[in-house]
Amino acid sequence: MIETASSLTANPAATAGGTGVVIDCMINELFYGSFRAVRDTHIPILKGKITAFIGPSGCGKSTALRCLNRMNDLVRGFRFNGHVHFRGKDIYHPNVDPVAVRRYIGMVFQQPNPFAMSIYNNVAFGLRLNRVKDDVPERVENALRGAALWDEVKDKLKASGLSLSGGQQQRLCIARAIATEPSVLLMDEPCSALDPIATRRIEELMVELKKKYTIAVVTHNLQQAQRVADKTAFMYVDTDGGARTGYLVEYEDTDRLFEDPQELHTKQYISGEFS
């Protein structure tokens, strides 16, 4: 039996691993081919909160984020030992369809990636992909409003998505991701290609979006994590014996992690002793 999108919605109230936990992610070991990229990383994603993944380059932040909606499945040689519980199911169970998972756990990438089609169709595309046929114009408008883009584009919905500025393109991608009303939005360094003003706009939008969606975000920007995140997961990378395996060092309330880190590596990282 193939699990369908509807089977993942069957028990929307179900949580895993504790009250308010929408996704409970446990990575015992994760490989790309023979390379062990991540180990011993347990990150609960809490409902209605923003969880930031921070840490030095190569520690596995994006890899861990991509586990949450099975995006790593697309990578050749990917192997995963652990679980990702969502709505009472392990999304890695062989009967779960990854396409159904991504309907409920959407993703926004580092580089804004609008399609070479109109602004309207960029948002409607995600709906069509998920066979949503009713109320498409209303849903497109709601998604563009939700992404704080409607006022800027309502008079040019037929213009190409590529004609927008970088920050607008990223908000268009957010609109595309929220059009199907996912439960969770994964954001992989969503501001790294943007200037400070567009970055602030996206940060404000994230805080607004968390009223409706749970968010997990990878960021290199520690101030950004402090500004937007409720919870922060700090990852580090072992380099013993030539290995480069990332792991979770500390997961805490963001304020606590930055004000009173419990682990030496966290202290060193947030004080800028290494990057």
Ligand X SMILES: Nc1ncnc2c1ncn2[C@@H]1O[C@H](COP(=O)(O)OP(=O)(O)OP(=O)(O)O)[C@@H](O)[C@H]1O
**Residues at the site binding ligand X, with contacts judged by CB under 6 A:** 32, 35, 37, 55, 57-63, 75, 244, 246
> Least distance (Å) from ligand X to the CB of residue 115?
23
| Residue that the structure tokens 């409003």 belong to | 145
> Least distance (Å) from ligand X to the CB of residue 178?
23
> Least distance (Å) from ligand X to the CB of residue 264?
19
Give 23 or 164: the residue with its C-beta nearer to ligand X.
23
Give 8 or 50: the residue with its C-beta nearer to ligand X.
50
Cβ contact 32:62 at 8 Å: no
> Least distance (Å) from ligand X to the CB of residue 53?
8
> Least distance (Å) from ligand X to the CB of residue 23?
17
SS (H, E, C) 61-92: HHHHHHHCCCHHHHCCCEEEEEEEEECCEECC
Give 62 or 183: the residue with its C-beta nearer to ligand X.
62
Give 190 or 246: the residue with its C-beta nearer to ligand X.
246
Nearest to 88 by CA among 3, 28, 27: 3
Any bridge partners for residue 186, and if so which? 107, 216
- What is the DSSP pairing of strand 35-46 with strand 21-32? antiparallel
> Least distance (Å) from ligand X to the CB of residue 146?
27
Q: How far apart are CA 230 and CA 226, in angstroms?
A: 8
Give 36 or 47: the residue with its C-beta nearer to ligand X.
36
Give 175 or 187: the residue with its C-beta nearer to ligand X.
187
DSSP letter for each residue of 118-166:
BHHHHHHHHHHHTT--TTHHHHHHHHHHHTT-HHHHTT-TTSBGGGS-H
SS (H, E, C) 15-58: CCCCCCEEEEEEEEEEEECCEEEEEEEEEEEECCCEEEEECCCC
